[in-house]
Structure 1
């Protein structure tokens, strides 16, 4: 390699390192700035004792659909997450078929399942009892690890509703076929009982499935571009993700709030200059965040900061300025849902909650 090539290589490495350090410092700055903004007390006018308001001022609605946010954790976090997922499997939330071959086998033994794993409309979790460690762990396609037993779990319900009896019967039939091919022992739940549990679970989750939205309406003389929104959102630590919304995430990579176009048109990174916004909505997915009441307090602060930066007003679904009473009633409603979830043995923001409300 010539001296010129070596010089160019050294310059390239230095530039990449400089960019990495700059991005790290920027991210650290945003997190500090955002955390500091959340530390001020509730002396703001929005938190003073409120007069009674009409219930229809509440910006609370039943969630019909949600797009799950995909995060890429580091290797150690991934190992913890998948093993923890196996611990979450339960007859109350999953239809679990247990297959125990005569001899330890690898993931190749489940070829039929891998071929159909996206056909059920619900999450499929496969866990294996590691022959070496004696621990249950997540099983992935082509894993060379030997397992003495497998759990094939079909989730009973999510935001799309309860799994149907037909799907459960088909899944049970598939488990039987796999067990027969392997000449394995198996334990299969009763389909009718699982169907009833699925309906009960779906009803239970539907009762607490809420999303809170605070709308930001720019003044008539102030038109917002996608670039304006992106600049301000990133200033407060929100990052544009694949679903076309800006997300603020916690230290685990889970979304705390999302900022989207009021008409649901996704933001596109390559067209922010040509994108014009008539209104924004800051969203809090109540079942999927830890301590949702406290998160709502932070959300109100963030909404005020965004409104100030964008010269906008915080309004309700009818584009009327949001009253102090509405803020108080929303928070009370969130607190009631949080308590109701606890009573149903579903902790808001837990891994189990994120499974069920996906």
Structure 2
């Protein structure tokens, strides 16, 4: 073999080695980022509520070593603000067992929640019927509006039929409000809700390398997010057990369900806040903003709106100011964000 052939062979080998090396580097560079060994808990950032001035009440954090276990919220009952309520007078006491047997099979009238409550003889409180208790009166209720729309005449008629059937079964006499008045009240409430509903979402997009599900979950967990009931969904829990989450983080469900999730490539995720569902005291928008910024820095991402436009700090400041006005308006209507009434109306 001549020196020329040897030189060409060597050169060819170097070129081939370079191509292989570049290909390996390119694949490694563009492979989804993977979760890393966990840092000590003390080193991990968390989305605790902002500190308040001395003398002001501080909201509880999610650090279980510092905060007591939260108590579940009591299930809210019928409320004249957002429900049609029909009292049912009784000839005598009715047992909880009889009331339970008389309840309709479904708890809805059309698209609206329907409920029966009894006045407990022993406690004097309105409650859902319970076995072993006795009741001196009942009331039937149907919700005036929700995110599907306002209570209409057909739904009101279904409510009357269900309530009348229950009353007949317990020897009661119902008194129904005028249908047209209640339907008009439902439309007015629905209009108010439509004008003051707010669901915010920030999109976090990968600048370069994509993310694996494990990488997303690890970084979100450091901020206090926990796995949700749906694959590809994580939530930041509320301070009180049983309340809706403060924030929701979601990414491609198919990536989370892949046979080998480590090889699934996620290029964007969404952080969302359902404003009327979360108490103002939780500082939800500030925590949404902080979560987006912390995750963007940790994961080499870019915070945008749903159209891909980068969200500047000034834009976020404006959103925050608008939300404060919205909170004030809901407070004035006795529909404060996160209250039982607001959570039912905006659902």
Query: Structure 1 length as normaliser, TM-score?
Result: 0.72
Q: Which runs of 5+ in 1 are unaligned?
A: 1-25, 42-75
Alignment equivalent of 1:237, drawn from 204, 208, 224? 224
* In the alignment, structure 1 residue 294 sits paired with structure 2 residue 283: yes
Query: Structure 2 stretches of 5 or more lacking a match?
Result: 1-37, 54-69
2:168 and 2:341 map into 1 onto residues whose CA distance is 32
* Segments of 4+ moved more than 6 angstroms: 263-266
Distance 1:132 1:293 in 2: 37
User: CA 1:278/1:40 → structure 2, altered by over 3 Å: closer, same or farther?
Assistant: farther
CA distance in 2, matches of 1:284, 1:115: 34
Query: Contact between 1:292 and 1:338, CA under 8 Å: does it hold in 2?
Result: no
Matched residues in 1 for 2:104 and 2:172: separation? 18
Of structures 1 and 2, the larger Rg is shown by 2
Change (3 A) 1:36 1:176: closer
Please give the per-residue CA displacement for 1:55-76, whole angstroms capped at 9, x wherever unaligned. xxxxxxxxxxxxxxxxxxxxx9
Q: How many pairs align? A: 289
Determine the C-alpha separation between the residues in 2 that align with 1:274 and 1:203.
47
What residue in structure 2 maps to residue 348 of structure 1? 337
Name 2:297's counterpart in structure 1: 308
Output one character per residue of 1:302-338: Cα deviation in whole Å (capped at 9) or x when no partner: 1111112221111122323211221111112211211
Displacement after TM superposition at 1:292 (Å): 7.3
CA–CA distance in 1 between the matches of 2:210 and 2:113? 42
The residue that corresponds to 2:171 in the other structure is 183
> Separation in 1 of the partners of 2:134 and 2:260?
50
Q: Per the alignment, do residues 90 and 112 of structure 1 end up closer, same or farther by CA in structure 2, a change over 3 Å counting? A: same
The structure with the largest helix share of the pair is 1
Query: Are 2:120 and 1:130 equivalent residues in the alignment?
Result: yes
What SS does structure 2 have at the residue aligned with 1:216? strand
**Structure 1: how far apart are the matches of 2:104 and 2:211?**
47
Question: Does 2:248 correspond to 1:258?
Answer: yes
- How far is the alpha carbon of 1:94 from its aligned partner? 0.7
Which residue is 1:156 aligned to?
144
| Corresponding residue of 1:116 | 106
Q: Which residue of 2 aligns with 1:22?
A: none
SS in structure 1 at match of 2:192:
helix
Instruction: State the distance in 1 between where 2:265 and 2:151 align.
Output: 40
